[in-house]
Chains A and B, each alone.
Chain A
Amino acid sequence: MTYRVGEAHSMGFQVFVPFSPWSWLLLLVALKCPEASSDLNESTNSTAQREPNVRFAAAGSEPDEKISVFALDYDYVQIPYEVTLWILLASLAKIGFHLYHRLPGLMPESCLLIIVGALVGAIIFGTDHKSPPVMDSSIYFLYLLPPIVLEGGYFMPTRPFFENIGSILWWAGLGALINAFGIGLSLYLICQIKAFGLSDVNLLQNLLFGSLISAVDPVAVLAVFEEARVNEPLYMMIFGEALLNDGISVNISAIEPLIVFMFSYLSYLAAETLYLSGILAITACAVTMKKYVEENVSQTSYTTIKYFMKMLSSVSETLIFIFMGVSTVGKNHEWNWAFICFTLVFCQIWRAISVFALFYVSNQFRTFPFSIKDQCIIFYSGVRGAGSFSLAFLLPLSLFPRKKMFVTATLVVIYFTVFIQGITIGPLVRYLDVKKTNKKESINEELHIRLMDHLKAGIEDVCGHWSHYQVRDKFKKFDHRYLRKILIRKNQPKSSIVSLYKKLEMKQAIEMVETGILSTAAFSVPCQAQRIHRIKRLSPEDVESMRDILTRNMYQVRQRTLSYNKYNLKPQTSEKQAKEILIRRQNTLRESMRKGHSLPWGKPAGTKNIRYLSFPYGRPQPAGRDTRVAELTDNDSSDSELPSIMFKAHSRAGILQESRLTQEIIPMKSLPRGGKPSHFGYQRNTSQEEHDGRGRRGALRPKPLFHAVDEEFESGEESGEETSAIRSRWSGEHRPTRQHHRSHSPLLQRK
C-alpha cells in the first residue's frame, strides 16, 4: 500500500491523509463551504456596491467601478475552481480507499467514486448551488473520453488480446448487437402495454436506449478479478469485450469532427473526422505506438508517460463519476416503475442469452473452450458504468422528450450493477474456484504445485510464444526486420535488473582481481553443521505455520499478463523477485566454484563450510587484467561476445563435463590477447570449473534480461540478430590474435 501513497506523491499531492471517515466528511464540507457562502457574498457585494455608486454619481463624474480592497469574485473562477475541487476530492478519496487494505477487495473502485459523487451532489443540491456546465457533448467527446480510451489501449496486454481476438470480436460485436436489439425490442414491447403509460416512447428511442445501456464498464470488474486471479483467456475476453464494446456503443450519434499524447489525440481526432470510430482509432494508435515508445524513450520519460496517462484518465473518469453522482441527487428525475424494473430485468436476461448462446458457438472453434463456470463469470461481470451514463445524459432532449426517464433508468441500472454485482462478484469467483482450493493442500502439494508452475513457465519460455495466426507471425517478422530498425534507437534503455547485473559483475570482477579471494555476500547460504535426521512430531499449528511460510515466501510464477490492473502501474514485486533470484544464483555459482564442484549432482561435500580456494590462475598478469576489466565492463556489447569465446574454449578443450560453476569473465577474456602459454596453462588447471560457468555468466547478461519482464517477442530471436551482428564485428577484430588457437572453426564456419 505504500506504493499507493508513492503514486500520489509523484503526482504532486503531498497530502496528509486522514483516516477517519468523519474527518473526510469534514474536509468535504469545509471545501464546499466557500462555494455556498460565495453566493451570499456576491449578493451583498452587489448591493453594497450600488449605494456608493449612487452617491458618487450624484457627486459628479466618478468612475462607476469601485476599487475595493477586498472582494470576492467567484464567478470568474467558478468553473475551474469547482472542477479542480472535485478532482482533488476524488483523488483524496481514492488514496484513502486504497490505503485501507480491505476495501479494494470488497468493492470496485467505481463504487467509491459514485459515492463521492453522490455526496458532492448532495452538498451542491443542499446548498442550492448552480453547478457549472461541465458535461456537454463536445467536452465529453473531445476531452473526457479520449484519455480514458488511450489509457485502456496503452495498457492492454496485447499478446493475449490478439491471441483471443477471434473470440473477442465475435463476442463483443455480436454480443453488443444482440444485447442492444434485444433490450430495445423488449422494452418497446413493454412500452406498448398501455397500463404503464409509456406509449409515447417509440421504437427508435427504445433501440437507442438499449444500445447505450448495454455498454459494459470493464474497470470495476477487472479490479475485482485481480483479487481472484482469474485465468488469462477469461480476463482477455472481458477486457477485450469492454474495450471494443465502448467503441461500438458510444458511436451512436454524429460526432463532431475536430484535430503521446497529441499524436494519439490527433489519431482520435483524425478518425473522428472521417466519421470513423475515434475510440477504436485511439486504441489502435495506443497499442501500436506502445511498443516503439517503450523501446525508444529513456526510463524516466517512460515512467512519466505512464503516470501522466494514468493521471489524465483518472481525472476524466473521476469527473464523469462525480457528475453522475451530482445528477443523482437532484430534481431532474422521472421515476417510472415499469420501465425501470423491466430495464433491469431485460439487461440481465439478454446478457445471459448472448453470453451462453455466443459462447456455445465460439467454443466449437476454440482450442480451449470456455467452461460454463467461465461463462457465468462473464455473464455476471456485466457491470455498467460511466459510459452508459454519459451517453444517456447526452441524449438530445428534442429527440427524447422523456429523457429524464431514460437517465433515471440508466442510473438505476448502473447503481444496481456496480454496487450489487460489483461487490458480490468477488465472493462469487472465489466460490466458483472453491473446488480446487477447498481442501487444504498439504505442504507437499503446495511445494510441488509451485514447482510445476515454475517448470511449466520455464518450458513455455523455451518454446517461445507463437500463435495460431499466420498473419500475426508475418507481421512480427516484418516488424522485426524493418520497423524496429527504423523506429528504435540503438542504445537501449537499461532496466533496473540490467543495471543490477552489471553492478554485480563489476563488483565481482574487481574483487577477483584485487584479492583473488572471494568474500561472502549477504545472501550466501549460511553454513551449518549436518543435522541429525530425526522425525519430529509436528502439531497442526506447526504445520499450519509452515504452510503459511511457504505460501508467503515462495517465489511467484512469472505471469504472462503481468497482472494487469488499471490501478497498478507495474508489478514491483516481480522485479524485486527477479533481482533476488539473480543475486542468489550469482552467489551460489560463485560458492560452488570455490568448493570445487564438478557435477551439479555430485555429492554435496562442501556444503557445510565455505572454503576459500585461491584462484589457480594466480596473478601473473594483474596489470593486464585490470585494464581489461575497465575496458570490458565499459563496453556495452561485451555481453554478447562472451558466448563466442565460451564456445571456442569448449570445443578446444573437449571437456565433456558440464558444471554449474562460474568463473570470472574478465580474466578469461584477456586470455586471447595474453598469448598462448598462459591460455593453455589456464585451461589445464581450471578447465571444467570455468568454462561452462563463464558461458553461463556471459549468457546471463543483460540483453535478454531487459525483456525478461515484459516480453513480446521471443527473446531468443531478437537478441539473436543483434548479438550475431555484434559478434561478427568482434571476431573480425580479433581474428589475427587467434590464429594460433586451433578452434576458431565454429566461428569461421558461422561467417
Chain B
Amino acid sequence: MRGVRRAPGIAGAGSRGPVSQASLLRLYHRFRALDRNKKGYLSRMDLQQIGALAVNPLGERIIDSFFPDGNLRLDFPGFVRVLAHFRPIDDEDPGIRDPKEPEPLNSRMNKLRFAFQLYDLDRDGKISRHEMLQVLRLMVGVQVTEEQLESIADRTVQEADEDGDGAVSFLEFTKSLEKMDIEQKMSIRILK
C-alpha cells in the first residue's frame, strides 16, 4: 500500500472525476492517517477521534453522513464520495457537460441534497417539525428555553412550507435557499 500513485477504487479520477488527481492523493493519505489500526477502512470511531468534530454541534450528524444506510465501514471510495460534494464548482464545466452523464457530485442540487439529509434523519424526504426542532436544539445554546425553540422551529417550517403539510420537502428546502450562495458555502478550497 505504500507509494501508491493512484488511489484504488476511484474510477475516472481527473478533472471530471469526483475530485482532482492531486486532491485524491492527499485524501488517500488522510484516509490512511485516520485509519488507526490500518484496517483498510474507517469506522465511526476513527472519525470521532478528530478532536474538532467532537466540539462541533453537528459532529455526530456529520459522521453519520459518512455511514449511510447503517454501514459500519467506510472505505476509501465512500470517503471520497462524501467529500466530493464539497469540491468547488468549476465554472467552465456547465456548458460542456454531457447531459447523459450523471450530475457531478458537487453540483448545487447535490450539495443541497447532502445538507438536506443532515436534517432528515428518518429519510422520508421531508423535514418534519420535530426534526427541525432537533437540529435547532443541537445548534443553539442552553440558555434558550424549550418554548422559544419550539416556536422558532414552528416558524422555520412555516416559512418554507408551501403545500401546508407541516413539513419541508426537498423542493421546498431548495426554494427557501435559492438566494443563498450554496456553491460557496459548501465548498472547500483544498478539494479543488
**Residues on A facing B (Cβ under 8 Å):** 367-368, 439, 442-445, 447-466, 497, 523, 525-526, 528, 531, 533, 535-536, 538, 542-543, 546, 549-550, 553-555, 558, 577-578, 580-582, 584-585, 599-604, 643-644, 646-647, 650, 656-658, 660, 692, 695-696, 698-700, 703-708, 711, 714-717, 719-720, 723-724, 746-747, 750
Contacts and interface: CB of A to CB of B under 8 A. Distances in A.
Interface stretch (B1-9, B10-18, B99-107, B149-157): B149-157
B115 A705 contact: no
A719 B36 CA distance: 10
B86 A695 contact: no
Contacts, number: 230
Interface in B63-81: 64, 66-67, 70, 72
A650 B39 CA distance: 14
B60 A585 contact: yes
Given A451-B58, A705-B55, 6 more contacts: A445-B180, A452-B186, A456-B187, A555-B57, A600-B64, A716-B50
Given A448-B177, A550-B152, A706 B45 contact: no
Interface string B94-131: 00000000000000000000010011011100000110
Contacts of B151: 536, 542, 546
Contacts of A719: 49, 51
Give the residue among A523, A584, A585, A699 with the most B Cβ atoms within 10 A.
A699
A499 to B, nearest CB: 15
Given A643-B36, A720-B33, A723-B36, A704 B141 contact: no
B47 A449 contact: no
Contacts of A462: 47, 50, 53, 62, 66, 83
Given A456-B86, A458-B59, A696-B44, A705 B54 contact: yes
Contacts of A604: 130, 134
Give the residue among B38, B72, B155 with the most A Cβ atoms within 10 A.
B155
The 4 closest A-B pairs by CB, nearest first: A704-B51, A699-B48, A601-B121, A578-B55
B137 A464 contact: no
Contacts of A550: 140, 152
Contacts of A466: 26, 30, 190
A538 B155 contact: yes
Contact of A461 (B53, B60, B64, B152): B53
B51 A706 contact: yes
Given A455-B118, A455-B186, A543-B155, A724 B55 contact: no
A526 B50 CA distance: 30
A724 B135 CA distance: 35
B5 to A, nearest CB: 16
Contact of B58 (A455, A695, A706): A455
B56 A558 contact: yes
B180 A577 contact: no
B185 A449 contact: yes
Contacts of A558: 52, 55-56
A462 B137 CA distance: 23
Contacts of A461: 50, 52-53, 56
Contact of A555 (B121, B140, B159, B160): B140
A260 B34 CA distance: 35
B188 A715 contact: no
A497 B51 CA distance: 11
B36 A459 contact: no
Given A453-B185, A585-B60, A695-B44, A445 B55 contact: no
Given A450-B139, A455-B58, A643 B152 contact: no
Contact of B159 (A444, A553, A724): A444
A719 to B, nearest CB: 7
A455 B154 contact: no
Contact of A444 (B144, B148, B176, B186): B176
A546 to B, nearest CB: 5
Contacts of A458: 52-53, 56, 58-59, 62
Nearest to A589: B60
A506 B151 CA distance: 37
Given A550-B140, A554-B139, A700-B48, A708 B54 contact: yes
Contacts of A450: 139
A746 B45 CA distance: 15
Give the residue among B26, B36, B136 with the most A Cβ atoms within 10 A.
B36
B30 A463 contact: yes
A584 B47 CA distance: 19
Give the residue among B56, B119, B148, B152 with the most A Cβ atoms within 10 A.
B56
Contacts of B59: 458, 585
Nearest to B187: A456
A581 B57 contact: yes
Contact of A546 (B50, B137, B152): B152
17 contacts: A462-B83, A463-B27, A463-B83, A463-B190, A464-B30, A535-B158, A578-B55, A656-B70, A658-B44, A696-B45, A696-B48, A704-B49, A705-B54, A705-B55, A716-B34, A720-B36, A750-B38
Contacts of A585: 54, 59-60
A704 B50 contact: yes
B86 to A, nearest CB: 5
Contacts of A454: 56-58, 139
B158 to A, nearest CB: 6
Contacts of A543: 155
Contacts of B37: 644, 647, 724, 746-747, 750
B146 interface: yes
A646 to B, nearest CB: 6
B169 interface: no
Nearest to A708: B51
B39 A553 contact: no
Nearest to B64: A600
Given A367-B192, A454-B57, A658 B70 contact: yes
Contacts of B67: 658
Contacts of B72: 650, 656, 658
B192 A715 contact: no
Given A546-B151, A549-B144, A549-B148, A714 B58 contact: no
A492 B153 CA distance: 43
B45 A646 contact: yes
Contacts of B180: 445, 448-449
A554 B45 contact: no
Contacts of A580: 141-142
Contacts of A578: 55
B142 A459 contact: no
Given A455-B115, A705-B54, A554 B140 contact: yes
Nearest to B29: A466
B152 A549 contact: yes
A707 B139 CA distance: 22
A367 B189 contact: yes
B39 to A, nearest CB: 7
A720 B50 CA distance: 10
B51 A463 contact: no
B191 interface: yes
Nearest to A704: B51
Nearest to B181: A436
A466 B60 CA distance: 24
B74 to A, nearest CB: 11
A555 B139 contact: yes
B185 to A, nearest CB: 5
A247 B58 CA distance: 43
Contacts of A599: 70
A624 to B, nearest CB: 26
B51 A715 contact: yes
